[in-house]
Structure 1
Amino acid sequence: MDVAAGRVQVKDAAAKWRADLLHRGSTSERMERVFRLHIDPIIGHMQMAHVRPAHIRSWVKDRSAVLAPSTLAVVYSNLVSFFGAAVIDRAIGISPCLGVRLPDSDKAGHFVPIPDQVHTLAENLPPRYSAVSYLAAGCGMRGGEIFGLEIDQLDLKRREVDISQQLVCISGQAPYLAPPKTKTSARTAELPKVVCEALAAHLKRFEPVEIEIVDATDPRNVVTRTARLVFTTNMLQPMHRATWAHIWAPAARTADIPKGVGLHCLRHYFATLLIHKGASVKAVQLALGHSTPMVTLNTYVGEWPEAGEKTRRLVDESLGHTPRLA
C-alpha cells in the first residue's frame, strides 16, 4: 500500500484522478461539477484511508434529501469509479462503497409529446428556430447535432443529412465543434418530407453566413476555421445552451411541455414513433445513433409491445387452427 497516498484528502485525490481521465470537455465539466457540489463539501476533507462504508452511507442519506434517486445513482457511480481507481493504485486497500445501497430509483418514464405539441412548438419558437423542432422530432437528432449542423451536411434533393459532428458548450468557453457523442452517433439520417419543407423554408429566410469557430472534430488537429452553421443566434453566433434555454421555455409552456423538459423530448417522440410502427431494436438503435442495442432497450424497453402477446399472435397467424384430431 502507498501510505502517503492514503493520507491525501479525498478532494485533492479526486481532482488528480479527474485530470488523468480521457474524457471530452463536456464530460469533464459534468464530473467536476458533481464532485464540487455533491462530494467535496461532505467528504472532501477526509483522508483517503479514513473513509469507511459508514461515511458513504451517511453521504447517501444526505444527498438523498436533495437529489432524485436517478440523479443520485449517476453521482454515486462517479464516486464508485473514483474509489475503485484508488484501490487499483493501492492508495487504499478496499473501496468504502462496497455494500452501500442506494434508494430505489424512480420509475418515471420519458415525457413524449404528441404530434400537436410538436407543431405547436414549431409555431411558437422564433421563426429562426422553427425547423429545430422538426429535425429533432423527425430525425431524432440531439440538440448538439442540430446546432452543430453545417449547410454542407444537408442534401435536400436526396433527403439526407450527414450527422458527423456536434456543437459543444462548456462554461467559460466559446462553443466549439466536436465529434458526435459516440462512434455510432455518426450516421446518415433520412429527411422526411415535413423536415425537408421546414429546412427549405428556414434556409430561404435565414441563409447561413460564414463564422469563425474552433473545430475539434479531430482531437489531434484542433483548428479554427470558417463554418456555415444552419442555426445561429440573432447575432449570427453559435448557439449556447443557456441562450437556447431562454428561447425554448416560452414555446414549451405554450405547447404544454412540462417544466424542466427540454428539446430531448422530441428525440423521445421520434424513437417511440419508430417503435410503435414496428421498428426493431436494431433499427431504432441505428436511427438514434446509440452505442449499442442494449442502450436502446434500457431507454425504451417499456415502449415495445408485450412480448407474450406478440408471441401468441405470431403463432396463431402461422399455425392457425388445430386439425381435427381422431
Structure 2
Amino acid sequence: MTGAYVDPNAGKVTLTTFFADWSQRQIWAAGTAKAMSLAVRSCTFADTELRNLKRSHVESWVKKMSQEGLAAGTIKTRFNNVRSVLHGARNDRLIATDPANGVTLPRGRKPEHAMAIPSPSDVGRLLSASEPWFRPFVAMCAFAGLRLGEAAAVQLADIDFLRRTLSVQRQVQRAGAGQASITPPKYGSERAISIPDGLVQILARHVENIGTYGAQQWMFVGGDGMPPHQNTVGYWWRKTVKDAGLSGVRLHDLRHFYASGLIAAGCDVVTVQRALGHSKATTTLNTYSHLWPTAEDRTRSAAGAMMNEALGNPADSVRTDRA
C-alpha cells in the first residue's frame, strides 16, 4: 500500500557480489573506482547477505576502523563510499532501508586546528632551498594553488606568458608501482588561473635554462618521458624541506598558503573557489571558513570606520564635549 515493500528473497546477494555488478554500471574516474573497491573490501560485513544487514554491522565496522587508528577523514570517506553502494541496493529494491542511517562517525579535527599554513618566510626558505628544476614546481603550488598531480602535468602550452595565465587541464595519478597515468583533473577543477609576474618569470627562466621535455613539452619529466611520479615529487619535496631547515611541512600546505593569501587580500568565496578548482563553493567554505572575517569582525570594522569618519579622533571629541 505504501510502495515500500521489498521481496525478502531479493536481498540474498552479498554486498561484495552486488558491488561487483553495480560498479560496472557506474561512470567513475579510475581513482574513484579504486577508492570504492578499497572501501568495500575493508568492510567487516562484505560477505553478509544484504537482507541480513543491520545498523549494528555498520557500527562495528566503524568501531574497528577507529581502533585500527585510521584518521577520522579516512573513516568518513570509506563510510560514505560504502553507503553509496547501499543506496544503490536500495534503489534496486534489494533492501528496504539504509542500514548505515544514523551511524555516528568519529569526530575530525576542526579545520582551524588541523590545517597548517606556512608563513611567507617559510615559503621563501623552501624556494631558496629547492633544486633549480624543482623551484618552479614549488612556486606553482605556492602562488597558483596547484595540487601535486596538477603541477606535475603542466605543459608548456598551458602557460600564457603574455596574458599571465596558467591553464589546469590534466593531472598525474598513480597507476601502479612506479607508474603514472595522465587523467583529466578532479571534477570541477579544470580552470585558468591568473598568476603573478614573479611566477611568470620563474617559469620563463625554467624554460630558458632547463628546457622542457618530450613531444608534448612537459614542464617537468620523470621516467620514460612522462611527468614525474608522485613518489619522485615526494622525495624531492622532503629533501627541500630538510634543506630549508623546516619540518612537518607538506606540499599540500602550499595550497593552503595560497588560499589564505587570497582570503587575506579580500577575495570572495566564489573567487577563491574558482582559483582552487573546487567543484562547489561549500567545499571552499567548509575548508577555509575560519580564515574569513566573521560578521562581528565586519560589523566592528564598519562601525569603527563610520565613527572615525564622523568624529575624527573619538577620544578627543569625547574630552571636548565634556569640557
Equivalent position to 2:62, from 60, 63, 66: 60
Q: Identity across aligned pairs (percent)?
A: 29
Partner residue, 1:311:
299
1:199 aligns with 2:203: yes
Partner residue, 2:272:
284
Equivalent position amino acid for 1:267 in 2:
R
Pairwise mapping of residues 32-47 of structure 1 onto structure 2 (< 5 A)?
A: 32-36=37-41, 38-39=42-43, 42-47=44-49
Choose 163-172 or 64-73, whichever is displaced more. Answer: 163-172
1:253 aligns with 2:242: yes
1:97 aligns with 2:138: no
Partner residue, 1:72:
75
- Unaligned 5+ segments in structure 1 are 212-226
Is the partner of 2:192 in helix, strand or coil? strand
Partner residue, 1:273:
261
Is the partner of 1:43 in helix, strand or coil? coil
Structure 1 residue 77: Cα displacement? 0.9
**What is the CA–CA distance in structure 1 between the aligned matches of 2:131 and 2:7, rounded to whole Å?**
59
Equivalent position amino acid for 2:276 in 1:
L
Structure 1 residue 304: Cα displacement? 0.9
**Contact 2:36–2:82 at 8 Å: present in 1 too?**
no
1:8 aligns with 2:10: no
Is the partner of 2:134 in helix, strand or coil? helix
Structure 1 residue 3: Cα displacement? 4.7
Task: Report Cα offsets for 1:9-53 as digits up to 9, x if no partner.
Answer: 2222223333322111122122222333x22xx212211111111
Is the partner of 1:161 in helix, strand or coil? strand
Structure 1 residue 61: Cα displacement? 1.1
Structure 1 residue 321: Cα displacement? 5.2
| Alignment RMSD | 2.5
Structure 1 residue 318: Cα displacement? 3.8
Equivalent position amino acid for 2:107 in 1:
D
Distance 1:245 1:28, change over 3 A: same
Partner residue, 2:119:
114
Partner residue, 1:186:
190
Distance 1:178 1:265, change over 3 A: same
Structure 1 residue 5: Cα displacement? 4.3
**What is the CA–CA distance in structure 2 between the aligned matches of 1:170 and 1:228, rounded to whole Å?**
21
**Contact 1:64–1:72 at 8 Å: present in 2 too?**
yes
Equivalent position to 2:169, from 159, 164, 173: 164
1:85 aligns with 2:88: yes
Equivalent position amino acid for 1:299 in 2:
T
Partner residue, 2:250:
262
Name the count of aligned residue pairs.
304
- Unaligned 5+ segments in structure 2 are 1-5, 312-323
Structure 1 residue 133: Cα displacement? 0.9
Equivalent position amino acid for 2:281 in 1:
P
**Contact 1:168–1:177 at 8 Å: present in 2 too?**
yes
Equivalent position amino acid for 1:250 in 2:
K
Structure 1 residue 163: Cα displacement? 2.0
Structure 1 residue 139: Cα displacement? 0.9
Partner residue, 2:318:
none
Equivalent position amino acid for 1:94 in 2:
T
Equivalent position to 2:131, from 101, 108, 126: 126
Is the partner of 1:127 in helix, strand or coil? coil
Task: Report Cα offsets for 1:154-194 as digits up to 9, x if no partner.
Answer: 122332212222233322695333322123x2222122122
Q: Normalization by structure 2: what TM-score? A: 0.85
1:301 aligns with 2:289: yes
Equivalent position amino acid for 2:151 in 1:
I
Equivalent position amino acid for 2:185 in 1:
P
**What is the CA–CA distance in structure 2 between the aligned matches of 1:94 and 1:282, rounded to whole Å?**
37
**Contact 1:117–1:256 at 8 Å: present in 2 too?**
no
Structure 1 residue 268: Cα displacement? 0.7
Larger Rg: 2
**What is the CA–CA distance in structure 2 between the aligned matches of 1:54 and 1:186, rounded to whole Å?**
41
Is the partner of 2:114 in helix, strand or coil? coil
Equivalent position amino acid for 2:230 in 1:
R
Distance 1:57 1:234, change over 3 A: closer
**Contact 2:142–2:257 at 8 Å: present in 1 too?**
yes
Structure 1 residue 74: Cα displacement? 1.4
